[in-house]
Amino acid sequence: MSDPYSVLGISKNATDDEVKTAYRNLARKYHPDAYSDNPLADLAQEKMQEINAAYDQIMNERRNGAKTSSGGWNPSQNASSQYADIRQLISAARYDDAQELLDGVPIASRDAEWYFLNGSVQYKRGWFDNAFTSFSTACRMDPQNEEYRAALNHLQRQRSGFGGSYGGYRQSNYGNGSGGCNACDVCTTLWCADSCCECMGGDLISCC
């Protein structure tokens, strides 16, 4: 490919933060979601793939250079692969930044580790249903990976501890956005309970 620094529009002396900023800006500009039903969709996807490849090449070269100068490559550290920066963001509790980088990866390029890290972000945010879906997908794509299986098992144990559901856990960032019970939920529950009582000859709410 062409010079990866030119693709991102930065100099070779750019700091890691400058590289990440340039990548995020271009990812927002050329993300496939922004070109749905657009005749330029194919060109945007090609550009996004070029941007991803350039970013990966720069960061891999920098990581490999650091490992070489510090005593060589350690195979046990290879789990980070191309997502090392996203893992670091998650460890630093920078979940919005991590999600932004994850969203910039084209759907066709999302592998098992992508789904595991996406699940990790969802889990940290408290969106456990989404996390469960992502962890399950990661395990299906790479069933031998102990890291992915451990995350899924941990979430399943939590679910079992709440009687098969997540109880008061926030379920999703989609929908009404409240992440919990609201007044309508309470009213609906009471109305249903009253109807059941009346069917059994009782009356939970005398006014109804």
Query: Is the residue at 184 inside a domain?
Result: no
Residue 96's nearest CA partner among 66, 70, 121, 133 is 121
Decide if 87 contacts 81 (C-beta within 8 A): no
Residue 126: both structure tokens together: 């408290």
Query: Is the residue at 165 inside a domain?
Result: no
Q: Which domain range does residue 36 map to?
A: 1-69
What pLDDT does residue 135 have? 93
Quick check: 83 pLDDT over 50?
yes
What pLDDT does residue 158 have? 80
Q: Measured between alpha carbons, how far is 95 from 89 in angstroms, rounded to an integer?
A: 7
Three-class secondary structure of residue 204 per DSSP:
coil
The CATH number of the domain where 44 resides is what? Answer: 1.10.287.110
Quick check: 13 pLDDT over 50?
yes
Query: Is the residue at 48 inside a domain?
Result: yes
Across the range 61-79, mean pLDDT stands at: 47
Considering its fold, how many domains does the chain have in total? 1
What pLDDT does residue 34 have? 75
Quick check: 71 pLDDT over 50?
no
Query: Is the residue at 208 inside a domain?
Result: no
6 compared with 68, residue with greater pLDDT: 6
Query: Is the residue at 38 inside a domain?
Result: yes
Query: Is the residue at 6 inside a domain?
Result: yes
Q: Which DSSP category does 181 fall into?
A: -
User: pTM surpassing 0.75?
Assistant: no
Query: Is the residue at 55 inside a domain?
Result: yes
Query: Is the residue at 171 inside a domain?
Result: no
